[in-house]
């Protein structure tokens, strides 16, 4: 070794560990998802697939169990009439639930609006179209109160709407003096309030204007929620409000609009309620709140917000209507009809929890 050459350096301890190590690059094997995982992902992407399948199976089962009575055109049109009001109120409930909220006051708002329309048109002599517009304004005002309490005061929607349910119900009894406006009086003074009860005979079926209006309302809100910026903002707020805010969405304004629109839809349902029952009663629609939530949940809309559709709500309302009608034709007691609907709700929520794991 010459004087200018550097003696070889002994390897350090950490270098000794690397001597003899494999030089291959690490690879990650992609795991093929199981059939159950693929089904889970498919149902997560298409939340209305399950209620559609349940509806088809329900119709098939009750057709076999109830014989020809269930599948008659007249009976199926009756089912459609029975779910009309709940499906329309379910629209209001759906847009609120999509924002990860809940509205327990929808039924009370509908009843109050119906009493305002009825008393103004029949008792006060206000022209019926103006009475209907005032009823719609009352529904919008009730929705605005809910929206202000949720957005400005940061109160939980469940507590807010539970409180306003009591308040609106009390106002309803005070304004109506707990008196029902009879069908005969409405028919003589304000027949326009019974417009949606007009039936169009199609063979043995009786399709009412109310059922047609329900389908139109479902189609309208499907378009608003699926094809407009407002609908995308509603889903974004329900999925993650903080991310929506960072993306430039005015979360408070979206929530406010949702509650006002929900109030307007409830007022529209109030007009249909008068038509359906023929009269305006402060005691009508007592179960509308829970029935609307039932239709929304069974229809596949997530109670945690951000996922669901208006079409699913219609399917959920039809499932409940088919179950009640089919069990009644089969001679099943009303108590067990409620039991079956309750079981459907539990299964729907459990399924929603299972589908949510896809995104976790």
Banded pLDDT at 345 (limits 50, 70, 90): confident
Q: Tell me the C-alpha distance between 275 and 138, whole Å.
A: 19
199: three-class secondary structure by DSSP: strand
Question: What pLDDT digit, counting tens, does each position of 177-194 carry?
Answer: 999 999 999 999 999 999
Q: What is the pLDDT of residue 282?
A: 93
**What token pair was written down for 55?**
């509806």
The structure's pTM equals 0.87
Residues 218 and 310: beta-carbon distance below 8 Å = yes
End-to-end Cα spacing for the chain: 65
Predicted confidence (pLDDT) per residue in 10-64, tens digit: 555 555 555 665 655 555 555 677 777 777 676 667 778 888 888 988 899 888 8
pLDDT above 60 (res 227) = yes
127-136, 166-175, 254-263, 321-330: range with lowest mean pLDDT: 321-330
Q: 15 or 170: which carries more pLDDT confidence?
A: 170
Q: What is the DSSP string of 105-135?
A: THHHHHHHHHHHHHIIIIIS---HHHHHHHH
Residues above pLDDT 90, as percent of the chain:
63
Strand partners, 205: 202
CA 185 → CA 27, 99, 115, 180, distances in Å? 80, 41, 14, 10
């Amino acid at each position: 070794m010459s004087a200018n050459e550097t003696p070889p350096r002994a390897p350090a301890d950490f270098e000794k560990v690397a001597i003899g190590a494999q030089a291959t690059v690490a690879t990650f094997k992609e795991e093929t998802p199981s059939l159950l995982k693929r089904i889970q992902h498919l149902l997560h992407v298409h939340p209305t697939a399950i209620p559609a399948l349940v509806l088809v199976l329900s119709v098939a089962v009750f057709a076999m169990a109830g014989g020809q009575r269930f599948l008659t055109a007249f009976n199926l049109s009756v089912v459609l009439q029975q779910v009309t009001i709940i499906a329309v109120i379910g629209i209001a409930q759906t847009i609120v639930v999509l924002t990860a909220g809940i509205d327990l006051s929808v039924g009370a708002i509908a009843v109050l609006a119906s009493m305002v329309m009825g008393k103004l048109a029949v008792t006060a002599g206000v022209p019926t179209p103006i009475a209907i517009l005032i009823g719609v304004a009352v529904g919008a005002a009730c929705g605005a109160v809910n929206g202000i309490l949720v957005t400005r005061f940061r109160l939980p929607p469940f507590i807010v709407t539970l409180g306003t349910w009591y308040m609106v119900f009390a106002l309803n009894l005070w304004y109506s003096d707990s008196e029902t406006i009879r069908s005969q009086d409405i028919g003589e003074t304000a027949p326009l309030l019974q417009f949606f009860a007009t039936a169009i005979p199609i063979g043995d079926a009786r399709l009412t204007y109310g059922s047609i209006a329900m389908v139109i309302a479902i189609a309208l809100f499907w378009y608003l929620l699926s094809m407009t910026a407002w609908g995308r903002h509603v889903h974004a707020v329900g999925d993650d409000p903080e991310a929506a805010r960072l993306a430039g969405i005015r979360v408070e304004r979206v929530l406010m609009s949702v509650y006002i629109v929900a109030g307007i839809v409830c007022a529209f349902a109030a007009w249909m309620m008068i038509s359906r029952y023929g009269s305006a009663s402060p005691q009508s629609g007592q179960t509308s709140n829970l029935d609307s939530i039932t239709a929304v949940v069974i229809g596949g809309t997530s109670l945690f917000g951000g996922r669901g559709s208006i079409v699913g709500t219609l399917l959920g309302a039809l499932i409940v209507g088919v179950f009640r009608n089919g069990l009644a034709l089969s001679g099943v007691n009303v108590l067990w009809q409620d039991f079956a609907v309750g079981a459907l709700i539990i299964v729907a929520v459990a399924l929603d929890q299972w589908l949510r794991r896809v995104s976790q």
